[in-house]
């Protein structure tokens, strides 16, 4: 069966974001990947090849926020993001919450820097302890999709979108 | 001692009107030194809570309700006995009609039939409608009292109420009560002073106004707040100042004395008596042994012994007919192909396994005594999960089977911080965009006065706009925790001995089911039996997955699968468990990477371990280290080896606590269960001290040394509070295994099941689709010539439904499908637009989504099932 798919990924995901509740043809971050890679941001899949303890930067679409009770009574925020290669689990301890809780709790797309933790057999239990948020790549999904569109590749237009993305 | 008794009191169970809980009321009455108080809401939702609180505070509880009668006026009825309470339930049921809130006015016939044992307070003022009393009303009051006197079973218990709220408007209040005094004298009726208590302190008037504001602004009801702040819980002295009629004041105590013999039968068991009771025990035994014979060609003696013991226990508490009833309900589900499973401690019973199915408790070391033992003070629950989409069929079946003895259990919703802020802001007149701004970042789960603490401590709320809104914060903090509305429990069915309306008023839910006014705690307090017929979306998802496989010619009997499939465990070990029942959360995915489950018992342990208790108690880390041989398993005494070996010395299950107390200290299972329950509550309680000495004495008698006993006790005590019911975990683990098996072997069908079962688990459809795509399953966008109402298999891929397009709800999607069925596939965009004139916004969304692309392709003109099967081939 022929499936119509003639437009670029960027246009398609933008169109899908504007017209549907799901993404069918591609993950919304696929179009943004070249830009993310240029900023040293790794994917969920690449995390499986990196050593525990390494400082990494990742970007993902917000999926779940969870705040279970802890032994100490202090709040720990667990966030699950997703990029085009898989799920990414973040842990936000109280120290990082002081500065970043608000932005993490209200942003559809999040880019964070933190320490990679790998445990269990072959390090397959993977999480990132958040140390900081990269603000110009954190915000609403709509703005992020604009950033990944080929039409926004010129330095001027990119700066314009980035500016609005931060707001 | 203040002799005055408040007889007309409206708590927060007069939803969005009263401002306090029954417990707060009792506390305030005690502070005033009054000996009794009534609760007279517009129903009996708060009655059991009020009764328990008052009893434990040494205050006489008087239970009543406020109802509307034939001429539109309101009366308050108070129960003088439990039989009278039953009559009150009937009258409220009549008033509820076919809804959950009183809408119907009682007729004279109603009061004639059901007013035995009820005290009636009448000639009241109605403030909710904002109507003022006029000369015409005065005549109506006189007439109304005459009629009431004629129809009430106890005309001598008809009292004329005197209110004085010192309202402005030329002392209207005073004039009205003076007039009531003269009407009462004329008709020879006694008078009584009341205050229509709606708040406990005058300053809570603002809360009342806000609640009424929510009714007006949010629910668009034509209702008025009380005129001033005088409707509070006044002292007897204050009431005497306002209503200087000694007889009216003294009559409050007289009425309280009339109601003295009223009591609710809390703390006693009231198992249902059903039609089958006479022969039930015999019949239950026959059914169980027959099923046992079907499972084993030669039944092992240990099964026979266990079943004998269980049947004796079930008969001892007269529940054989109840077990047979649940069997009938489950058989109905079975015969209709409705997936189901038993949850909770009942899954540890061999009899339940034989009657209802599930996992074999003998094979998995489950314990019947966690379910039923002689020390249990409440009736045991049998909770059954059904396919969510078909659960209502089962509930209707049960209701039809026992129409006079069953009703749905009620659920009371309370204000949480976020909803309190939003609704209060609306009532206080904030514009919508401002409300959105103010509630950003407010956690959904906060309760009670945590708002003030949250504003102080949560970093995301520092400098939040709401922190400047002190009045709103104060009001919202007072609203949080208050009951806001009554609703229907998702699957709890109350089964009463005798008529259900003797126990609770019964209304009708929006779905057409009878619903009572007792919630699950009330039912437990009254010793009534609650059968939970719950909906489990994972059952729906599995059913839909199996339907996809059936269409492909694959028949899979999940119930008969061996529990040792390598591919299933390999999938779980990979931590790729998105969508797998109970094991998909970030924490569970992480734990899978540590524990690497290899067998069914590992799934039971993992489900039990990932709970707040074990996580807080560091049990998980200890278990993981021991399981991975990073530290040795520690078992304090050889006698405990058979009990703790399977969990490396860590007490994971409640059943282990019971067994340790039984085997090591010789406690009966009833004592052991009491010991476990006490451990989870106050460990310094007298009961706990007594049980500890019993544990020590028992263990000493078995020849253990005191130091060893102390050691074992401390270890048990450290973990006992966190233990999880193994029977429940085993039952869930079975569903976990089934869903993981589907994902490992039939991923396309698995994802389709998840996507079409509503909201299953934690992940949204987008995330499920993304994972499917990553696993090589093509995802096709919605298309007017290919999609339907649900996600569908298309070759090896998944076709999205039309309803994922913005603006295309089920109604529009059905129109598109009907047109396609009627006149064939759409040939081009013009053809589509001509045949289906839709709003521009929908057409634009369909275009952007790609749902109108390539309409001219010839393949579409074949029936979808033809090209679907062609592409599958």
Phi, psi of A30 (to 5 degrees): -60, -45
Contact A4 B850 (CB under 8 A): yes
Contact B782 A24 (CB under 8 A): yes
Q: Where does residue B681 rank: exposed (0-12), middle (13-18), buried (19+ CB within 10 A)?
A: exposed
pLDDT for A3 equals 40
Confidence of residue B866 (pLDDT cuts 50, 70, 90): low
Question: By the 8 A CB rule, do A89 and A124 touch?
Answer: no
pLDDT for A7 equals 45
Which chain B residue lies closest to A107 (C-alpha atoms)? B441
Give the pair of three-digit tokens for residue B125: 């003022």
B482-529 tens-digit pLDDT: 999 999 998 999 999 999 999 999 999 998 999 999 999 999 999 999
What are the Cα distances from residue A115, in Å, to A51, A53, B721, B831? 10, 6, 34, 57
Position B869 pLDDT exceeds 60 = no
Q: Which residues of A touch B590 (CB under 8 A)?
A: 89, 119-120, 125-127
* Letter string b/e over residues B826-847, b meaning 16 or more CB atoms within 10 A of that residue's CB: bbebeebeeebebeeebbebbe
SS3 of residue B193 by DSSP: strand
pTM above 0.90, yes or no: no
Position B862 pLDDT exceeds 70 = no
| Dihedral angle of Cα B829, B832, B835, B840, to the nearest 10 degrees | -80
What average pLDDT does range B751-761 have in this prediction?
A: 94
What stretch of H or E contains B519?
strand B514-519
Q: Where does residue B857 rank: exposed (0-12), middle (13-18), buried (19+ CB within 10 A)?
A: middle
* Bigger pLDDT: B271 vs B797: B797
CB within 8 Å of chain B, chain A residues 97-156:
97-99, 101-102, 105-106, 119-121, 124-127
Number of neighbouring beta carbons within 10 Å of residue B637:
18
CB within 8 Å of chain A, chain B residues 447-486:
458-460
Question: By the 8 A CB rule, do A40 and A57 touch?
Answer: yes
Residue ranges covered by each domain of chain A: 4-149
pLDDT for B455 equals 84
Question: By the 8 A CB rule, do B600 and B563 touch?
Answer: yes
B510: left (phi over 0), alpha (psi -120 to 50) or beta: alpha
Is residue A51 less than 8 Å (CB to CB) from chain B? no
Least CB-CB distance to A125: which of B594, B763, B805? B594
Contact B794 A87 (CB under 8 A): no
B32-75 tens-digit pLDDT: 999 999 999 999 999 999 999 999 999 999 999 999 999 888 99
Displacement of CA B764 from its chain's centroid (Å): 24
Question: By the 8 A CB rule, do B749 and B757 touch?
Answer: no
pLDDT for A163 equals 46
Question: By the 8 A CB rule, do B748 and B798 touch?
Answer: yes
CB within 8 Å of chain B, chain A residues 2-41:
2-5, 12, 15-16, 18-25, 27
pLDDT for B720 equals 67
B690-715 tens-digit pLDDT: 888 889 999 999 999 999 998 888 87
Least CB-CB distance to A105: which of B441, B575, B795? B441
Is residue A65 less than 8 Å (CB to CB) from chain B? no
Q: Which residues does residue B34 pair with via DSSP β-bridges, in sequence order?
A: B2
pLDDT for A157 equals 44
DSSP class of B502: G
Q: Where does residue A18 rank: exposed (0-12), middle (13-18), buried (19+ CB within 10 A)?
A: middle
pLDDT for B272 equals 85
Confidence of residue B452 (pLDDT cuts 50, 70, 90): confident
Confidence of residue B800 (pLDDT cuts 50, 70, 90): very high
Helix B417-427 × helix B470-479 angle, to 10°: 120
Phi, psi of B816 (to 5 degrees): -65, -45
B399-419 tens-digit pLDDT: 999 999 999 999 999 998 888
* Bigger pLDDT: B651 vs B723: B651
Nearest to B599 by CA among B633, B624, B626, B562: B562
pLDDT for A166 equals 40
pLDDT for A146 equals 75
What average pLDDT does range B283-304 have in this prediction?
A: 94
Contact A120 B460 (CB under 8 A): no
Flag residues of chain A having pLDDT under 50. Answer: 1-7, 153-167
- Cα–Cα distance, B733 to B341 (Å, whole number): 11
Position B276 pLDDT exceeds 70 = no
Question: By the 8 A CB rule, do B636 and B339 touch?
Answer: no
CB within 8 Å of chain A, chain B residues 561-600:
573-575, 578, 585-587, 589-594, 596
Question: By the 8 A CB rule, do B342 and B384 touch?
Answer: yes
Question: By the 8 A CB rule, do B420 and B469 touch?
Answer: no
Strands A125-133 and A86-92: parallel
B210-267 tens-digit pLDDT: 999 999 888 888 889 998 999 999 999 999 999 999 999 999 999 999 999 999 999 8
Q: Which residues of B touch A63 (CB under 8 A)?
A: 763-764, 767
Question: By the 8 A CB rule, do B472 and B466 touch?
Answer: yes
Q: Across all residues in chain B, what is the average pLDDT?
A: 90
Q: Which residues does residue A130 pair with via DSSP β-bridges, in sequence order?
A: A114
| Residue that has been written with the tokens 């069966």 in this structure | A1
Q: Which of B69-78, B297-306, B446-455, B754-763 has the lowest mean pLDDT?
A: B446-455
Confidence of residue B818 (pLDDT cuts 50, 70, 90): very high
pLDDT for B168 equals 58
What average pLDDT does range B642-647 have in this prediction?
A: 92
pLDDT for B171 equals 60
- Cα–Cα distance, B542 to B549 (Å, whole number): 11
Q: Which fold would CATH assign to domain A4-149? A: OB fold (Dihydrolipoamide Acetyltransferase, E2P) (2.40.50)
What average pLDDT does range B118-146 have in this prediction?
A: 77
Contact A19 B767 (CB under 8 A): no
Position B385 pLDDT exceeds 90 = yes
Q: What is the ipTM of this complex?
A: 0.89
CB within 8 Å of chain A, chain B residues 762-781:
762-767, 769-771, 773-774, 778-781
Question: By the 8 A CB rule, do B543 and B790 touch?
Answer: no
SS3 of residue A27 by DSSP: coil
Number of neighbouring beta carbons within 10 Å of residue B481:
18
Confidence of residue B172 (pLDDT cuts 50, 70, 90): low
Q: Where does residue A6 rank: exposed (0-12), middle (13-18), buried (19+ CB within 10 A)?
A: exposed
Question: By the 8 A CB rule, do A103 and A165 touch?
Answer: no
Number of neighbouring beta carbons within 10 Å of residue B400:
9
Contact B804 A22 (CB under 8 A): yes
Confidence of residue B446 (pLDDT cuts 50, 70, 90): low
Is residue A1 less than 8 Å (CB to CB) from chain B? yes
């Amino acid at each position: 069966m022929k499936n119509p798919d003639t437009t670029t990924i960027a246009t398609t995901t933008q169109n899908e974001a504007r017209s549907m509740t799901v993404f069918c043809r591609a993950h919304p971050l696929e179009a943004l990947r070249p830009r993310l890679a240029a900023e040293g941001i790794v994917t969920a899949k690449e995390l499986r090849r990196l050593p525990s303890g390494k400082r990494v930067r990742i970007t993902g679409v917000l999926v779940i926020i969870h705040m279970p009770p802890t032994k100490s009574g202090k709040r720990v925020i667990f966030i699950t993001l997703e990029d085009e290669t898989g799920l990414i689990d973040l842990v936000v301890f109280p120290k990082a919450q002081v500065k970043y809780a608000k932005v993490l709790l209200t942003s559809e797309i999040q880019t964070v820097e933190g320490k990679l933790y790998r445990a269990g057999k072959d390090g397959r239990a993977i999480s990132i302890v958040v140390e900081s948020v990269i603000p110009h790549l954190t915000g609403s999904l709509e703005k992020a999709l604009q950033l990944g569109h080929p039409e926004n590749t010129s330095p001027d237009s990119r700066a314009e979108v980035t500016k609005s993305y931060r707001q | 001692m203040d002799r005055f008794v408040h007889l007309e009191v409206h708590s927060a169970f007069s939803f969005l009107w009263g401002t306090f809980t029954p417990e707060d009321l009792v506390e305030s009455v005690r502070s005033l030194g009054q000996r009794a108080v009534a609760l007279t809401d517009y129903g009996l939702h708060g009655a059991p809570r009020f009764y328990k609180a008052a009893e434990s505070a040494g205050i006489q509880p008087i239970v009543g309700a406020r109802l509307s009668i034939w001429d539109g006026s309101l009366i308050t009825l108070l129960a003088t006995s439990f039989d009278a309470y039953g009559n009150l339930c009937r009258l409220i049921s009549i008033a509820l009609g076919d809804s959950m809130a009183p809408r119907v006015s009682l007729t004279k016939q109603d009061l004639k039939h059901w007013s035995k044992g009820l005290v009636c307070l009448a000639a009241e003022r109605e403030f909710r409608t904002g109507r003022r009393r006029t000369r015409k009303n005065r005549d109506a009051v006189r007439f109304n009292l005459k009629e009431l006197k004629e129809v009430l079973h106890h005309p001598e218990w008809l009292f004329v109420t005197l209110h004085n709220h010192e309202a402005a408007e030329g002392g209207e209040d005073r004039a009205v009560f003076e007039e009531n005094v003269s009407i009462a004298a004329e008709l020879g009726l006694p008078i009584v002073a009341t205050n229509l208590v709606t708040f406990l302190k005058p300053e809570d008037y603002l809360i009342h106004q806000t609640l009424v504001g929510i009714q007006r602004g949010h629910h668009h009801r034509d209702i008025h707040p009380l005129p001033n702040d005088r409707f509070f819980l006044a002292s007897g002295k204050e009431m005497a100042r306002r209503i200087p009629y000694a007889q009216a004041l003294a009559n409050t105590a007289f009425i309280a004395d009339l109601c003295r013999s009223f009591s609710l039968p809390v703390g006693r068991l009231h198992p249902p008596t059903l039609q089958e009771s006479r022969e039930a025990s015999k019949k239950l035994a026959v059914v169980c042994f027959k099923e046992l014979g079907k499972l084993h060609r030669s039944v092992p003696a240990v099964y026979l012994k266990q079943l004998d013991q269980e049947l004796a226990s079930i008969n001892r508490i007269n529940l054989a007919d109840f077990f047979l009833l649940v069997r009938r309900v489950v058989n109905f589900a079975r015969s209709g192909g409705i997936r189901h499973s038993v949850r909770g401690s009942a899954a540890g019973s061999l009899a339940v396994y034989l009657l209802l199915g599930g996992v074999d408790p003998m094979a998995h070391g489950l314990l019947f005594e966690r379910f039923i033992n002689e020390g249990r003070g409440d009736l045991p629950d049998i909770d059954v999960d059904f396919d969510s989409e078909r659960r209502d069929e089962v509930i209707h079946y049960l209701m039809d089977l026992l129409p006079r003895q069953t009703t749905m259990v009620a659920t009371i919703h309370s204000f949480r911080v976020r909803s309190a802020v939003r609704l209060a802001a609306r009532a206080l007149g904030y514009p919508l965009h401002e409300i959105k701004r103010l509630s950003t970042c407010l956690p959904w789960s906060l309760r009670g006065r945590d708002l003030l603490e949250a504003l102080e401590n949560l970093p995301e709320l520092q400098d939040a706009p709401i922190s400047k809104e002190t009045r709103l914060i104060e009001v919202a903090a007072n609203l949080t925790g208050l009951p806001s509305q009554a609703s229907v429990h998702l699957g709890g069915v109350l089964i009463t001995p005798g008529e259900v309306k003797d126990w609770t008023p019964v209304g009708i839910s929006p779905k057409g089911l009878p619903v009572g006014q007792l919630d699950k705690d009330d039912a437990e307090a009254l010793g009534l039996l609650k059968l939970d017929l719950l909906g489990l979306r994972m059952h729906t998802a599995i059913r839909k997955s199996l339907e996809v496989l059936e269409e492909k010619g694959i028949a899979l009997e999940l119930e008969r699968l061996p529990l040792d499939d390598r591919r299933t465990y390999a999938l779980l070990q990979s931590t790729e468990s998105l969508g797998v029942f109970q094991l998909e959360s970030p924490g569970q995915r992480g734990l899978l990477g540590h524990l690497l489950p290899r067998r069914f018992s590992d799934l039971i342990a993992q489900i039990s371990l990932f709970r707040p208790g074990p996580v807080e108690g560091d049990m998980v880390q200890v278990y993981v280290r021991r399981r991975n041989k990073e530290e040795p398993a520690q078992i304090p005494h050889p006698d405990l080896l058979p009990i703790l070996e399977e969990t490396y010395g860590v007490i994971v299950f409640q059943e282990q606590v019971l067994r340790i107390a039984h085997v090591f200290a010789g406690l009966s299972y009833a004592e052991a269960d009491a010991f476990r329950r006490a451990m989870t509550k106050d460990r310094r309680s007298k009961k706990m001290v007594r049980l500890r000495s019993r544990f020590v004495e028992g263990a000493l008698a078995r020849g253990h040394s005191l130091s060893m006993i102390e050691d074992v006790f401390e270890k048990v005590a450290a973990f006992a509070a966190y233990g999880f019911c193994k029977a429940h975990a085993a039952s869930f683990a079975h569903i976990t295994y089934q869903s993981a098996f589907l994902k490992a072997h039939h991923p396309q069908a698995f994802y389709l099941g998840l996507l079409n079962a509503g909201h299953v688990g934690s992940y949204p459809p987008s995330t499920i689709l993304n994972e499917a795509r990553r696993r090589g399953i093509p995802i096709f966008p919605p298309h007017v010539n290919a999609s339907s109402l649900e996600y569908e298999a298309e070759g090896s891929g998944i076709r999205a439904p039309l309803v994922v397009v913005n603006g295309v709800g089920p109604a529009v999607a059905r129109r598109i499908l009907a047109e396609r069925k009627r006149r064939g596939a759409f040939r081009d965009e013009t053809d589509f637009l001509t045949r289906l004139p839709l709003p521009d916004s929908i057409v634009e969304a369909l275009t952007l989504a790609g749902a109108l692309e390539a309409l001219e392709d010839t393949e579409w003109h074949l029936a979808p099932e033809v090209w679907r099967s062609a592409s599958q081939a």
